[in-house]
Each structure stands twice: as structure tokens, then as C-alpha cells.
């Protein structure tokens, strides 16, 4: 099978955010250079590859200093011929002019900035290191050096957040005339500061009703903008949809490199060891750093195809589903489709099944309908 996408994980951050449950570590006193050497070695376990998409995430890749960043970029350039989208995640305050010039020089053509909100009080609650002025500066530099695609992440349903605050952040983001917005409601994940505070009764979230109102506002605001919605949480100008994320939503294969990274190769889902020192030990001993492998059954693959594919506005294509699994979607999920259509949560055409606008509000309930316990 030809693998056309790869994810690289940089598990270091200048500060640990209160809501984040990704595999990340405070960068101070971490063996960053040793980690990069091992990451590069893991990438080199296979022969050089031609890819359609590359995504470097974290953690925060821009937490690396200039020398470390260039070392990583050179290694990626040697090992991969990236034909299409090449994304780096970034924090606005770390995205200096020098770093943007460097990323541009090595072919990075998409920046995904972790903005989350333009509201200063909410930025402090989230534990972010940037201020709103840093967002404007970073976007200006990215445009100065002709980065072809700029994406901002925004969050809603945050502690103390009002719908007016979210509305204002959306307006500010759109005023920057960027190319893509990802906007997610806060989910309390175990092993985060927010989760621990919530369990102790020290964190109050907006009501679920207000969270739904914020999502309705998001969809309405985007409909009147230059962006179109193409996935539950993602909006883009024409030609700027995230091609890498579509690989995940289409249930296609991809490499995963780095501590805690996940991949999907030849029907096997795998996850690398998470602790940096364990990862380094594996690579130093010339071992692949895989912690866990799972081989989804046919039923599990079809379930994944449904709940991942339904995230996209174009939904799940019935012809493609049959080509991959030799099952007719309408027959296989006849009862589920009937019940969801009665609720008005899905659209069923001869070509595809997709979420309705109301279905996006209750997306998780729709997805669960296709998971047979």
C-alpha cells in the first residue's frame, strides 16, 4: 500500500496549557537535541518517501530554537519529497519573523496557529503564553513571507466565556483575512488541570445550551464569510481545506513519528511510547518505539469509516464504502439510517450519507449509532 501522509510529533511546550491532554512536556531541562536525533533516526528507518501531506504538531514545534528547528527541517527535506500540503503547528508568540523565514525556506506552506481566543482574560485562564497582539504580528509576518495558507484555532464553551466574547474572537479572526479556521468546543480530558479543577468543584463551565448556541453562532457567522464549512469544526476559503486532516477523516493510511505519535499502516493502528526518555531508549537500541498495535476487524473498520467520514460535510460516499469493504452501506446500516433520518440528523442520498445542520450539533450521538457494541 502506498502511504502518502505523515505526522511528526514534537512533545515540548514553553508552558503547559490548562486544558491540553496531548503528549507534551515542559521544554526546560528536557533532552531536546537527543530527542530530535532519535526522531530523525526513526524517520530514517524506512527508505525516503514521496508524500502528499506532512503535518508537524505537538506539543509545540515552534518551541524549538532556531538551530533545532533547522535541524528538523533539514532532516524532513532529506527523507521526504512533499508534493502538497506541509503544515507546522505554532504558537503566535513563538512564531518570530526569523522562524517564519526559516519555515518558508524549507517549503512549509501552511501554518496552524493555536490562537484559541482573542480575549486576554480567557487567554490567562487557558494558560496561554501569547496575547492578542502576538496573533496580529504572527499573521502579518506569515503574509509578509507569502506563507500560502494560514489557519487559526479557536475554542468555545470555555470557563466564564460569554457568547459575546466568542463572537468577538470570530470577528477578529475573520478581520485578519486568513484562509482557514478550526473551532472546537472545550472537552474536559482526564489528566488536565481543568479536569482536576472541575472534579474539585473549582471550575464552572457554560451550560450545554450556551455551548450549542456558540456552535450555531459559529456556523451562521461562517456562512456569511468568505469561508465554507467542510467538516464539523473546520472552515476554509476555496482551495484551503486541510488535506492532511482529510486523510484521517477518510480513514486512510499515514505514518506517525515521535513520542506518543499514532499511525495507520497496512491495516494496523499503532501508537509510539509516550515518555521522552522511553522513546529515546528504544531508538538508541535500534528498536522501533511502538507501544501498542491493533488490527481493526472488518466491522471496526466500517464503523471507523462512518464516524470519521460523517465529520465531513460531504459525508460518507456509498460507492467508496462498497469498494473498500464490499458491503452496501444502505443495507448494513438500514435501521440506524432510518432512525437518524426520522430525527432529522442525517441526509441520505443515492450517493452519500451526511450530517444535517442539526446533526452536527449532536454529532457524537449520530456517530454512536453506527458503533455496534
Domain boundaries, the chain: 5-249, 298-369
Q: In sequence order, what E strands does 170-223 have? A: 180-185
Strands ordered across the beta sheet of 346-348: 316-317, 352-355, 346-348
CATH code, residues 5-249: 3.20.20.70
Alpha-carbon distances, residue 201 vs 162, 196, 295, 329 (angstroms) = 20, 9, 40, 45
For residue 107 the three cell numbers come to 517549503
Give residue 60's region: left, alpha or beta (phi > 0; psi -120 to 50).
beta
For residue 191 the three cell numbers come to 489528566
- Residue by residue, pLDDT tens for the chain (373 residues) are 579 999 999 999 877 666 665 666 778 889 999 999 999 999 999 878 999 999 999 989 999 999 999 999 999 999 999 999 999 999 999 999 999 999 999 999 999 999 999 999 999 988 888 899 999 999 999 999 999 999 999 999 999 999 999 999 999 999 999 999 999 998 766 777 776 776 777 777 888 899 999 999 999 999 999 999 999 999 999 999 999 999 999 999 999 999 999 999 999 999 999 999 999 999 999 999 999 999 999 999 999 999 999 999 999 999 999 999 999 999 999 999 999 999 999 999 999 999 999 999 899 999 999 987 5
pTM over 0.85: yes
With 0-12 / 13-18 / 19 or more C-beta atoms within 10 angstroms meaning exposed / middle / buried, residue 333 is: buried
Which CATH architecture group holds 298-369?
Orthogonal Bundle (1.10)
Helices (H) then strands (E): counts for the chain? 16, 17
**Locate cell 521526504: which residue?**
80
Instruction: Tell me the C-alpha distance between 228 and 230, whole Å.
Output: 6
Phi/psi of residue 111, each to 5°?
-115, 130
Instruction: Tell me the C-alpha distance between 88 and 86, whole Å.
Output: 7
Q: Does 298-369 match 5-249 at the fold level?
A: no
- Tell me how crowded residue 53 is: count the other CB atoms within 10 A of its CB: 22
Amino acid at each position: 500500500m502506498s502511504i502518502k501522509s505523515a505526522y511528526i510529533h514534537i512533545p515540548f511546550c514553553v508552558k503547559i496549557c490548562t486544558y491540553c491532554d496531548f503528549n507534551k512536556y515542559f521544554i526546560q531541562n528536557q533532552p531536546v537535541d537527543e530527542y530530535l536525533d532519535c526522531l530523525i533516526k526513526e524517520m530514517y528507518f524506512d527508505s525516503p518517501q514521496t508524500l502528499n501531506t506532512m503535518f508537524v504538531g505537538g506539543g509545540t514545534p515552534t518551541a524549538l530554537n532556531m538551530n533545532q528547528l533547522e535541524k528538523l527541517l533539514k532532516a524532513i527535506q532529506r527523507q521526504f519529497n512533499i508534493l502538497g500540503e506541509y503544515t507546522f503547528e505554532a504558537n503566535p508568540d513563538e512564531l518570530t519573523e526569523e522562524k517564519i523565514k526559516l519555515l518558508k525556506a524549507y517549503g512549509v506552506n501552511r501554518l496552524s496557529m493555536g490562537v484559541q481566543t482573542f480575549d486576554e482574560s480567557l487567554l490567562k485562564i487557558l494558560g496561554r503564553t501569547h496575547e492578542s497582539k502576538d496573533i496580529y504580528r504572527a499573521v502579518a509576518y506569515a503574509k509578509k513571507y507569502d506563507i500560502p495558507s494560514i489557519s487559526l484555532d479557536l475554542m468555545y464553551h470555555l470557563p466564564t466565556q460569554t457568547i459575546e466574547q466568542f463572537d468577538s474572537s470570530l470577528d477578529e479572526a475573520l478581520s485578519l483575512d486568513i484562509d482557514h479556521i478550526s473551532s472546537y468546543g472545550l472537552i474536559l480530558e482526564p489528566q488536565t488541570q481543568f479536569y482536576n479543577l472541575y472534579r474539585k468543584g473549582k471550575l464552572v463551565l457554560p451550560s450545554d445550551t450556551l455551548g450549542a448556541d456558540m456552535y450555531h453562532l459559529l456556523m451562521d457567522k461562517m456562512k456569511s464569510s468568505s469561508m465554507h464549512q467542510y467538516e464539523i469544526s473546520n472552515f476554509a476559503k476555496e482551495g484551503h481545506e486541510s488535506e492532511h486532516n482529510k486523510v484521517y477523516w477518510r480513514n486512510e493510511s499515514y505514518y506517525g513519528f515521535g513520542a506518543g505519535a499514532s499511525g495507520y499502516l497496512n491495516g494496523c493502528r499503532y501508537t509510539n511510547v509516550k515518555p521522552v526518555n522511553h522513546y529515546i531508549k528504544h531508538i538508541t537500541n535500534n528498536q522501533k518505539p511502538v507501544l501498542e498495535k491493533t488490527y481493526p476487524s472488518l466491522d471496526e473498520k466500517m464503523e471507523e469509516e462512518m464516524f470519521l467520514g460523517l465529520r465531513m460535510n460531504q459525508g460518507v460516499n456509498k460507492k467508496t464504502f462498497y469498494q473498500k469493504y464490499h458491503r452496501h452501506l444502505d443495507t448494513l446500516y438500514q435501521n440506524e439510517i432510518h432512525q437518524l433520518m426520522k430525527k432529522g440528523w442525517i441526509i441520505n442520498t443515492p450517493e452519500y450519507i451526511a450530517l444535517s445542520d442539526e446533526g452536527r450539533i449532536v454529532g457524537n450521538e449520530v456517530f454512536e449509532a453506527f458503533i455496534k457494541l
